[in-house]
């Protein structure tokens, strides 16, 4: 079946493009000599995680324990849950997973380390952890330098955990204006992590790993000395945010929403059958926030829950009728995928398989 014969709205995955995106990142990591542990929050699909491993990824990353459960169930055996696990219920589930696979987790507090340490002692197998640091995103982590060194000293005294190294997510690189600025942001973040690592070593706490992530920064991050692992996620599909940041183009985007024009209230206005429940509100108002493939005369103006409202630039001479189908590039692929139960995988417009969004909604 051709993709334009599908009912809408539908999530489409261009598998040829996914393969190219996966191969490009895997090759760059191989040449740089760093491990690639892609973040699976972007696709949440077993088939695509397998493609990443087959292309050379050393393991996978996820954010939530519930996602890790899906991955272990499907045979993945080296998983980083890049999230602090808090509470007895989660620790019991973590232990069940650790009996079947290698599970690493991250933390930035003594409290979380104590819970994990108790598990490590009780099970006779220490829990492998990354210490998350704040290199400027101000989400998780103590600041790099002395605050982190002090934390690592406290963690080193806790029985039942093994500190693998430092982990950061330079999410603030998303707001760097130019590519040079972004490279500068990631370079100084990594320098800060390395000097923190060296200071810990001087105090006798030696660890090897520096794990960094994000699609905008990964290609520059992996070339920096000291980095041992990169965790990009969005690169697999890309989206208009990545186009805006200059690390993707419409051609390298692999996830699309197929929609139908359901109304033409005025000559200049059209309405499609997809709103925030397909696109989320992420990025609304950013120039080119949702792009219509192959139709530079069409721009999306705003969306509500079930309606997407767009404008036609009549000076470009295009036409558009009720019933026409449009292919759109979403603003942020990761939460968009999480809104769909399944996607249609296609090659050159021919649907080749249905893809279950296996770990969608696994927020617990
Ligand atoms: C901890 C962590 N690692 C890696 C990533 C991947 O970043 P990106 O989506 O830019 O590829 C994210 C994204 O949110 C993250 O939170």
Query: Which residue did the predictor score with more confidence, 213 or 222?
Result: 222
Q: Which residues neighbour 58 within 8 Å (Cβ) at sequence distance 6 or greater?
A: 35, 36, 37, 78, 229
Helix segments in the chain, DSSP class H: 15-32, 46-54, 65-73, 88-98, 110-123, 146-156, 179-202, 215-221, 240-244, 276-279, 333-337
Question: Does the bond joining 199 to the residue before it have cis omega, within 30 degrees of 0?
Answer: no
Give Cα 91 distance to the centre of its chain.
Answer: 24
Establish how many alpha carbons lie within 13 A of residue 265's alpha carbon, considering only the half-sphere containing its beta carbon.
9
* Token pair listed for 66: 């519930």
Take atom 13 of ligand 1 and give the residue whose Cα is closest.
214
Q: Which fold has domain 3-9+248-356?
A: Lyase, Ornithine Decarboxylase; Chain A, domain 1 (2.40.37)
pLDDT at position 229 over 90: yes
Provide the pLDDT for residue 170.
81
Provide the pLDDT for residue 326.
98
Provide the pLDDT for residue 181.
85
**16-234 matches 3-9+248-356 in CATH topology:** no
Q: Where are the domains of the chain?
A: 3-9+248-356, 16-234
Report the top-level CATH class of 16-234: alpha beta
Provide the pLDDT for residue 264.
98
**What pLDDT band is residue 37 in, cutting at 50, 70 and 90?**
very high
Is residue 207 within 8 Å of 200, Cβ to Cβ? yes
Residues facing 263 on adjacent strands = 271
Is 234 close to ligand 1, i.e. is its CB under 6 Å away?
yes
pLDDT at position 177 over 80: no
pTM, entire model = 0.96
pLDDT at position 287 over 90: no
Is 84 close to ligand 1, i.e. is its CB under 6 Å away?
no
Query: Which residue from 235, 233, 93 is spatially nearest to 243, judged by alpha carbons?
Result: 235
Provide the pLDDT for residue 178.
82
% the chain with pLDDT above 70: 100
CA distances from 130 to 164, 167, 261 (A): 6, 6, 48
Establish how many alpha carbons lie within 13 A of residue 26's alpha carbon, considering only the half-sphere containing its beta carbon.
18
Q: Round to whole Å and give the CA distance between 91 and 16.
A: 39
Query: Which residue from 334, 103, 85 is spatially nearest to 234, judged by alpha carbons?
Result: 334
Convert the pLDDT of each residue in 178-203 to its tens digit: 888 888 888 999 999 999 999 999 99
Q: What mean pLDDT, rounded, does the chain reach? A: 96
Query: Which residue from 320, 326, 333 is spatially nearest to 308, judged by alpha carbons?
Result: 326
pLDDT at position 243 over 80: yes
Identify each DSSP E strand in 273-336 by its residue range: 291-292, 298-303, 308-312, 325-329
Q: Round to whole Å and give the CA distance between 139 and 168.
A: 10
Take atom 2 of ligand 1 and give the residue whose Cα is closest.
169
Q: Round to whole Å and give the CA distance between 303 and 169.
A: 30
**What pLDDT band is residue 249 in, cutting at 50, 70 and 90?**
very high
Q: In the predicted model, what is the mean pLDDT of residues 34-42?
A: 98
Tell me, in angstroms, the distance from the centre of ligand 1 to residue 151's CA.
23
Convert the pLDDT of each residue in 306-352 to its tens digit: 999 999 999 998 899 999 999 999 999 999 999 999 999 999 999 99
* Token pair listed for 214: 């994000």
Is 137 close to ligand 1, i.e. is its CB under 6 Å away?
no
Provide the pLDDT for residue 286.
87
Tell me, in angstroms, the distance from the centre of ligand 1 to residue 160's CA.
28
Take atom 14 of ligand 1 and give the residue whose Cα is closest.
214
Query: Which residue did the predictor score with more confidence, 170 or 316?
Result: 316
- Ranking 7-21, 109-123, 167-181, 186-200 by mean pLDDT, the lowest is 167-181
């Amino acid at each position: 079946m051709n993709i334009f014969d599908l009912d809408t709205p539908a999530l489409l995955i261009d598998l040829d493009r996914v393969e190219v995106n996966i191969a490009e990142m895997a090759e760059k990591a191989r040449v740089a000599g760093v491990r690639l542990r892609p973040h699976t929050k972007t696709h949440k699909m077993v088939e695509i995680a397998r493609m990443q491993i087959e292309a050379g990824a050393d393991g996978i990353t996820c954010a939530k324990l519930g996602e890790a459960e899906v991955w272990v169930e499907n045979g993945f055996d080296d998983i980083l849950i890049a999230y602090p696990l808090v509470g007895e219920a989660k620790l019991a589930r973590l232990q069940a997973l650790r009996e079947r696979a290698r599970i690493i987790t991250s933390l930035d507090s003594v409290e979380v380390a104590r819970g994990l340490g108790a598990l490590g002692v009780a099970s006779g197998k220490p829990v492998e952890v990354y210490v998350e640091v704040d290199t400027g995103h101000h989400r998780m982590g103590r600041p790099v330098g002395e605050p982190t060194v002090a934390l690592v000293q406290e963690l080193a005294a806790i029985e039942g955990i093994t500190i693998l190294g430092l982990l950061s997510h330079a999410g603030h690189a998303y707001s760097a204006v130019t590519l040079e600025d972004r490279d500068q942001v990631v370079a100084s973040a990594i320098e800060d992590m390395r000097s923190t690592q060296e200071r810990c070593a001087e105090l006798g706490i030696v660890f090897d790993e520096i794990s960094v992530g994000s699609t905008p920064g990964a290609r520059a991050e992996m070339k920096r000395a000291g980095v041992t692992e990169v965790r990009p996620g969005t690169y697999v599909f890309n989206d208009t945010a990545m186009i805006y940041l200059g690390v993707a183009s419409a051609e390298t985007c692999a996830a699309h929403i197929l929609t139908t024009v359901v109304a033409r209230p005025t000559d200049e206005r059209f309405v499609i059958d997809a709103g925030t429940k397909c696109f989320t509100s992420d990025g609304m108002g950013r120039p080119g926030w949702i792009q219509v493939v192959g139709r530079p005369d069409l721009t999306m103006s705003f969306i509500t829950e079930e309606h997407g409202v767009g404008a036609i630039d009549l000076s470009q001479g295009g036409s558009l009728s009720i019933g026409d189908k449009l292919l759109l590039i979403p603003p942020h692929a990761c939460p968009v995928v999480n809104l769909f139960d399944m996607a249609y995988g296609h090659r050159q417009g021919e649907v080749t398989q249905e893809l279950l969004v296996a770990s969608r909604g696994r927020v617990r």
